[in-house]
Amino acid sequence: MANKKTFNDLGLSSKVLDAINKKGFEEPTAIQAMTIPVMLRDDTNIIAQAQTGTGKTAAFGLPLIEMVNTDSKTVQAIILVPTRELAIQVSEEINSLKGDKNIKIVPIYGGQSIDQQFRRLKEGVHIIVGSPGRVIDHLNRKTLKLGKIEQLILDEADEMLNMGFIEDMEEIMKHTNPDKRTLLFSATMPGRIKDLARKYMDGYELLTVTKKQLTTNLTEQIYFEVKASDKLEALCRIIDIQDDFYGLVFCRTKIDVDSLVTHLMDRGYNAEAIHGDMSQAQRERTLEKFKKQRVTILIATDVAARGIDVNNLSHVINYSLPQDPESYVHRIGRTGRAGNEGNAITFITPGEYKRLMFIQRIAKTDIRKSKVPKVKDIIKAKKKKIYNDLSTILEDEIDTKYYNWANKLLEDNTPTEILAAMLNYCFEEELNPDAYGEIKEVSAKGTQLDQQGKARLFVALGKKDKINSRKLVELIMSRVSVKPKHIRDILVMDKFSFITVPFDKAEKIVVSFKEKGRRPLITHAKKNG
């Protein structure tokens, strides 16, 4: 572990390193450590075998940020992705890493207004992230020119092959600068992908992450599908239903760790953080408290947790899905030690289901789906614990002053009335079901209209219109009677946004924002074209 590379070792500039630090990433993943230095050398094509979720967007995104010449308005790089969702995700990720460098990154995909895309392309763009069908559409309309690009990146190439985009990829390549560099990222290397590489890549460096033999045992492994906004509520329920919760909770970044600890402490939980920004002395003090169970909930990043050796944990919780199967196995291996069975719980959002199944397959393990504990079951478990605690107290000798006090209280009330009043006095807050929020069930196989009757809407306003999540909610509420909590999964980008609302409200919102003779401000989000 001592020889593990840091971002400082990869040849990145101080500005980019600052942006990485602000994001809260502590060290590069394996594919990032391999790809970034080779890309920065700028002297060879690359084929990288990497799964979704291993940090590959940053692996090619960070070098692209370094290489882009902001003085030029021509398209210098294009990233081809199989789906609209991935186009948005990759574009947002690179935007979040560019710091204060004035790079224009535009996603183009089917389902979004082509005229709107044309206007953005006309303004000048450095990096395009696009789905093949819509890119070809722009090439045919002459609204996109790729003759001067320096980098072509094919992301999830095998997935594009499975979706029938191989001919589209070849067509796009014909419009590109012959002297460009090509980078191909693929989880698998089927024959058609190898043929594509031989035909269009004049020599390349192959980068693959060494697979390790992974084993898991003595651990009950389950996962919950929850929205990102419901993760905190789900975690609180897991902690509360366990008689003696003693667990390690993993987050992706140190910023996520600090945020979660703050939220838990606000709710009255005994939680502390451990991550790379803390001094060695701070980490050791926190770890000592955790080992002695003076702190029973420890929130950690993978990097900071390497030195933690605790045998009797009841839970390891993946609050954020780990980057790769190796991280998953290292995390959950911290429970179920010394012959004890432990619980490993992973939270996934619907879009992460595929990655979890990949982790399950490579780790040769079984991660079964379960449901977040219901509030009534938590209250029942708490009552049982209170009953057992009271029974234990009754077995011991009780000071006579309490008997004297009890007799005094019984002068004017019945034993049942007194006991009920005491239970209410002591446990009213702890046994209050209203202390828990609602958790909506979600499905990993959800569509635009999911099982709970939700609809995804496209809003033609974004950050450049001085719109944020709060202002967007207020704008919708000014036109339609809808509660703020029903406007969920808000994604605000530079020039447009997405929201999810109850299906019965969706049409009312769309209609209320229609203005005669003008393009609708809010429409139903469309599937990939």
Averaged pLDDT for residues 167-183 = 91
Residue of 451 and 466 predicted with greater confidence: 466
What pLDDT, on the 0 to 100 scale, is given for residue 283? Answer: 85
Mean pLDDT rounded to a whole number for the chain: 85
DSSP 20-31: HHHHT--S--HH
Beta-carbon contacts of residue 214 (< 8 Å; ≥ 6 apart): 325, 326, 329, 362, 363, 364
Q: How confident is the model at residue 451 (pLDDT cuts 50, 70, 90)?
A: very low
CA dist 365 and 359 (Å) reads 9
Give kind and range of the element (H or E) at residue 225: strand 219-225
What pLDDT, on the 0 to 100 scale, is given for residue 76? Answer: 96
Q: How confident is the model at residue 149 (pLDDT cuts 50, 70, 90)?
A: very high
CA dist 210 and 309 (Å) reads 26
What pLDDT, on the 0 to 100 scale, is given for residue 158? Answer: 85
Would you say residue 529 has pLDDT above 80? no
User: Could you read off the pLDDT of 316-336 as tens digits, one per residue?
Assistant: 999 998 877 778 887 887 775
Q: Which of 330, 331, 340 lies closest to 244 in space, CA to CA?
A: 340
Would you say residue 518 has pLDDT above 80? no
Q: Token match 């979706």: residue?
A: 163
Beta-carbon contacts of residue 97 (< 8 Å; ≥ 6 apart): 16, 19, 20, 23, 58, 61, 62, 65
Q: Of 13-27, 169-183, 300-314, 363-377, which gets the smallest average pLDDT? A: 300-314
Report the greatest alpha carbon distance in the chain. Answer: 97
Q: How confident is the model at residue 22 (pLDDT cuts 50, 70, 90)?
A: confident
- Does the CA dihedral 132-135-140-146 come out positive or negative? negative
Q: Which of 326, 343, 367 lies closest to 225 in space, CA to CA?
A: 367
Would you say residue 210 has pLDDT above 80? no
For 335, phi then psi, to 5°, come to -110, 165
What pLDDT, on the 0 to 100 scale, is given for residue 376? Answer: 92
CA dist 98 and 64 (Å) reads 9
Q: How confident is the model at residue 11 (pLDDT cuts 50, 70, 90)?
A: very high
In this structure, how many other beta carbons lie within 10 angstroms of the beta carbon of residue 200? Answer: 18
Please say whether the beta carbons of 295 and 272 come within 8 A. Answer: yes
Work out the percent of the chain whose per-residue pLDDT is above 70: 92
What pLDDT, on the 0 to 100 scale, is given for residue 429? Answer: 81
What pLDDT, on the 0 to 100 scale, is given for residue 447? Answer: 36
Would you say residue 161 has pLDDT above 80? yes
Q: Of 14-28, 339-353, 386-400, which gets the smallest average pLDDT? A: 339-353
Residue of 150 and 518 predicted with greater confidence: 150
What pLDDT, on the 0 to 100 scale, is given for residue 134? Answer: 92
Which of 61-75, 161-175, 327-341 has the largest mean confidence?
61-75
**Strand segments (E) across 278-414:** 297-300, 315-318, 342-348, 368-369
User: Could you read off the pLDDT of 418-434 as tens digits, one per residue?
Assistant: 999 988 888 888 888 88
What pLDDT, on the 0 to 100 scale, is given for residue 155? Answer: 92
Which of 141-155, 379-393, 427-441, 488-502 has the largest mean confidence?
141-155
Averaged pLDDT for residues 15-21 = 90
Would you say residue 514 has pLDDT above 70? yes
Would you say residue 57 has pLDDT above 80? yes
CA dist 418 and 449 (Å) reads 53
Would you say residue 50 has pLDDT above 50? yes
Structural domains in the chain, CATH included, are 7-208 (3.40.50.300), 219-372 (3.40.50.300), 377-435 (no CATH), 454-524 (3.30.70.330)
What pLDDT, on the 0 to 100 scale, is given for residue 32? Answer: 93
Would you say residue 267 has pLDDT above 70? yes
Which of 91-105, 216-230, 300-314 has the largest mean confidence?
91-105
Residue of 218 and 17 predicted with greater confidence: 17
Residue of 48 and 1 predicted with greater confidence: 48
Would you say residue 372 has pLDDT above 50? yes
Q: Of 41-45, 82-86, 200-204, 513-517, which gets the smallest average pLDDT? A: 513-517
What pLDDT, on the 0 to 100 scale, is given for residue 1? Answer: 40
Q: How confident is the model at residue 449 (pLDDT cuts 50, 70, 90)?
A: very low
What pLDDT, on the 0 to 100 scale, is given for residue 340? Answer: 57
Q: Confirm whether pTM is higher than 0.85.
A: no
Residue of 515 and 418 predicted with greater confidence: 418
Would you say residue 2 has pLDDT above 50? no
What pLDDT, on the 0 to 100 scale, is given for residue 450? Answer: 41
